[in-house]
Amino acid sequence: MPEIQFRQALRAAMTEEMERDDSVFLMGEEVAQYNGAYKVSEGMLKRFGPRRVIDTPISEAGFSGLGVGAAMAGLRPIIEFMSWSFTLVCLDQLVNNAANIHYMSGGQIKCPIVFRGGNGIAHQLAATHSHRVESIYARIPGLVVVCPSTPYDAKGLLKTSIRSDDPVIFLESEIILSDRGEVPDEEFTLPIGKAHVERPGAEVTVISYGKSMARFTRPAVARLVEEDGIDVELIDLRTLRPLDTLTLIESIRKTNRCVIVSEDYGYCGMGDAIQARLHKEVFDDLDAPIEVVHSDEIPIPFNHHLEEATMPSVERVIQAVKEVTYR
Amino acid sequence: MAVADEVAKRPSIRKTPRSDGSVELGYLRMMMLIRRFEERTYREYTKPGQKIGGFCHLYSGQEAIAVGIAARFDKKRDYLINGYRCHGHSLALGMSPRAAMAELFGKATGCSKGKGGSMHFFSAENRNMGGHGIVGGHIPLALGLAFSQTYRETGGVTYCLFGDGAINQGTFSETLNLASLYKAPCLFIVENNGVAMGTQVERSSAEKDLALRGSGFNMPHFHVDGNDLDQFMEGIADAIKRARTGGGPSFIVANTYRFRGHSMSDAMKYRTREEMEQAKLRDPISLYEVSLRDIGLLTDQQAEALEEEVSAEVEQAIQQADADPQPTMESRFEDALAETYPLEK
């Protein structure tokens, strides 16, 4: 299987879907002539032309709303945000319009749209550019929230997201765009709403997603297995809404211990929300309280060392797993 | 006589009837139907045992705009999208008074299955893409609808309606700029009734000439009379043609007046009796009636008969909507998502 970058996997998914279906188009800041702020859409203008790969001015509310309107008319827009942090200026278009149209029209009008871009803490972008928006969007009925951690998942999940008749919030990370992984050339898709048990284990369930999975959780679990001999069951959520609680509950009922790793904040954050969903279901099965590893509850600082210290880390994940396994 | 004086002031558009009058009488009837529907809605909302809940914004006084657009609307390829004062346009585009009233009552037979209410009337069948509750929030959606018409080369036009309050939202400026860049076939029509809830245009817009708010976007921007049906239709004709033939969007200020408050709780203390009496002289229904009489297309008997017809139609709609079933409790979980998950595709 060829090894490609995360950004190439995203590009492959978009390209294949645009070739398959003329109603799919890509729109966003710098996606066309500049070839993408992070080079995700490199070469796509040349391939598809300006009708289907469209640059926008810096007007997030304007072009995200354009996407919603086009989706209401039956097109399948892919709207790229340079950063999910910028969607705070167009929240109304996503939360009020995209999420509600199908429900509020009594099921008459669908909204098949994908919003995608980099989410979370990148590298020294300071507080305004480091928002983790998953808990903002995952709490909204009417939205689907997908967050892949590998190039393989990115391609399979983006293709399904484009084909879905619902509005999909697709969360990437600038930090892992250059990560490489095996991705088959042939056609495949991955299911939305299904978590992936990446490593079966018996002693503790570790749950994560996206960049937190790629950068903190996966390396921490490798060390815990190798150096400490802890038999971890590692689960990649892939989809944050709808949450695959069934897979999580089954796993915790087997391991009796659980750690959730998310770069989001703790209070009202994604990790806490998942924990709250699980707690009642697995209360009698737990041998230790569920641990949530999250970012410190402060605006994200610019200074490199302060920023590093604010985020979850491999060490923090290892410590949390040892805590719930009493090691 | 006072209304006739107002009619006499207007530029002469049509001196001789073009048809047997059935088209014109249809317009008049629709304006009457909307007025009757809104006034009966007012009564249903305010009478004891109130059947209508939530916010409710009436269209009385602005009917010529909805009917004028509907008259030009191509049902195969055009779209209309609107703010929350959306009853009139929905009826004008062909929604039955029953589906509209049932929605106000929150019934399962309502145009949005009782999930939208007064501010959120939808009819995909009529290419009516909704009433939208957040001021200015729907303006970018109009651009998307228009974008789809260009993308698919349908020759369709999108009519985007909003009030004078909405032009002060950021979405307005962002959308007009994008629409002009992309040459979107969209008519951005402000229904300027002079007051955003209780804030007069003079207190909300630094530029008093609202048409100038559409300048700087490289698109035509102009005023039309929003109370005189003939003048309104004439006034938007070039903009429609321009949009249909690839010329891009226009920004149109349709000047009008609402006879009722912003919503049901509004006592209209910001208005004087004199102002309202003056406005009544330019009631779009009276203006049109007088102008049709002038050219011999309408008799007193016909006018009375139309009034009776629409009155009976609205009464019947209220009775039916009243008898219609409440949505089932389970139905509240329906339609939140279009797909079933886990989703494999």
pLDDT tens sequence across B108-151:
999 999 999 999 999 999 999 999 999 999 999 999 999 999 99
pLDDT in tens, A237-295: 999 999 999 999 999 999 999 999 999 999 999 999 999 999 999 999 999 999 999 99
Q: Does A200 touch chain B (CB under 8 A)?
A: no
Angle at Cα A158 formed by Cα A154 and Cα A163, nearest 5°?
160
Fold topology of A3-182: Rossmann fold (3.40.50)
DSSP state letters, B154-182: ----EEEEEETTGGGSHHHHHHHHHHHHT
Could you tell me if A62 and A69 are in contact, meaning their C-beta atoms sit under 8 angstroms apart? no
**Per the CB < 8 Å rule, is A106 touching B112?**
yes
Q: Which of B112, B134, B151 has the CB atom closest to A96's CB atom?
A: B134
Name the burial class of residue B16, with classes exposed (0-12), middle (13-18) and buried (19+) by CB atoms within 10 angstroms of its CB.
exposed
> Which residues 155-174 on chain A approach chain B with CB closer than 8 angstroms?
160, 163-166
Q: Angle A96-A100-A105 (CA atoms, 0-180°, nearest 5)? A: 130
Contact A63 B134 (CB under 8 A): no
Residue A114 amino acid letter? V
With b for 16 or more beta-carbon neighbours within 10 A and e for fewer, the B166-179 pattern comes to bbbbbbbbbbbbbb
In B8-27, the residues whose Cβ lies within 8 Å of chain A are none
CA B94/CA B97 separation, integer angstroms? 9
Place of tokens 């891009």: B248
Q: Tokens for B322, please give them.
A: 């009243």
Q: Is A73 on the interface with B (CB under 8 A)?
A: yes
Please, are residues A172 and A262 in contact by the beta-carbon 8 Å criterion? no
Whether the predicted pLDDT of B86 surpasses 60:
yes
Chain A closest CA to B113's CA: distance in Å? 5
Burial of A90 per CB tally in 10 Å (0-12, 13-18, 19+): buried
Mind listing the domains of chain B with CATH numbers?
2-10+25-45+58-323 (3.40.50.970)
Mark A120-130 as b/e (b = at least 16 C-beta within 10 Å): bbbeebeeebb
Is A96 in contact with B338 (Cβ distance < 8 A)?
A: no
CA distance B110 to B132: 16
Query: In this structure, are residues A134 and A171 in contact, taking their beta carbons and an 8 Å threshold?
Result: yes
Please write the tens of the pLDDT for every residue from A135-144.
999 999 999 9
DSSP secondary-structure letter at A108? Answer: S
Chain A contact for B143 (CB, 8 A cutoff): yes
Percent of chain B with pLDDT over 90: 84
Q: Are strands B199-200 and B128-131 parallel, antiparallel or unpaired?
A: unpaired
Query: pLDDT: is B275 or B342 the higher one?
Result: B342
Q: How many CB pairs under 8 A join A and B?
A: 164
Cα A289 from chain centre: 26
What is the reported pLDDT for B18? 61
Q: In which element (H, E) is residue B65 found? A: helix B63-72
Give the whole-angstrom CA distance, residue B310 versus residue B32: 7
Which active-site residues of A does the annotation give? 60, 129
Q: What is the per-residue pLDDT for B214?
A: 95
Query: Three-state DSSP class for B323?
Result: helix
Domain boundaries, chain A: 3-182, 196-324
> CA-CA distance, B38 to B90, in Å (whole number)?
12
Task: From chain B, pick out residues whose CB is under 8 angstroms from the CB of A191.
Answer: 342-344
Same fold, A3-182 and A196-324: yes
How many CA within 13 A on the CB side of residue B89? 32
| Chain B partners within 8 Å of A192 (Cβ) | 341-343
Proportion of chain B above pLDDT 70, given as a percent: 96
B297 and B25 in contact (C-beta within 8 Å)?
A: yes
Please write the tens of the pLDDT for every residue from A151-183. Answer: 999 999 999 999 999 999 999 999 999 999 999
B284–chain A nearest CA distance, Å = 30
**CA dihedral sign of residues B147, B187, B169, A112:** negative
Output the pLDDT for position B230: 96
User: What six digits make up the tokens of A238?
Assistant: 């892939």
The CA distance from B187 to B160, in Å, is 6
The length of chain B is 345
CA nearest to A53, candidates A32, A76, A78: A32
Mean pLDDT of B210-220: 97
Q: How many CB atoms lie within 10 A of CB A180?
A: 14
Share of chain A above pLDDT 90, in %: 100
Average pLDDT estimate for A198-214: 98
Helix B63-72 crosses helix B229-244 at what angle (to 10 degrees)?
40
Residue B138, token pair as written in the block: 């729907």
Q: What is the pLDDT of residue A247?
A: 98
- CATH class of segment(s) A196-324: alpha beta
Walk across the sheet containing B250-255 and list its strands. B128-131, B79-82, B158-163, B186-192, B250-255, B221-225
Q: Angle at which helices A60-72 and B139-151 pack, to 10 degrees?
A: 60
pLDDT of res. B12: 56
SS3 content of chain A, % helix, strand, coil (to 5): 40, 20, 40
- Is the CB of A56 inside 8 Å of chain B's CB atoms? yes
Say if residues A240 and A195 touch (Cβ distance below 8 Å).
no
**Three-state secondary structure call for residue B144:** helix
Q: What are phi and psi of A12, to 5 degrees?
A: -65, -40
Share of chain A above pLDDT 70, in %: 100
- A242 cis-preceded (ω within 30 degrees of 0): yes
* Cβ-based neighbours of B276, under 8 Å, separated by 6 or more: B259
Between strands A53-55 and A24-28, the pairing is parallel
Looking at residue A213, the DSSP 8-state letter turns out to be I
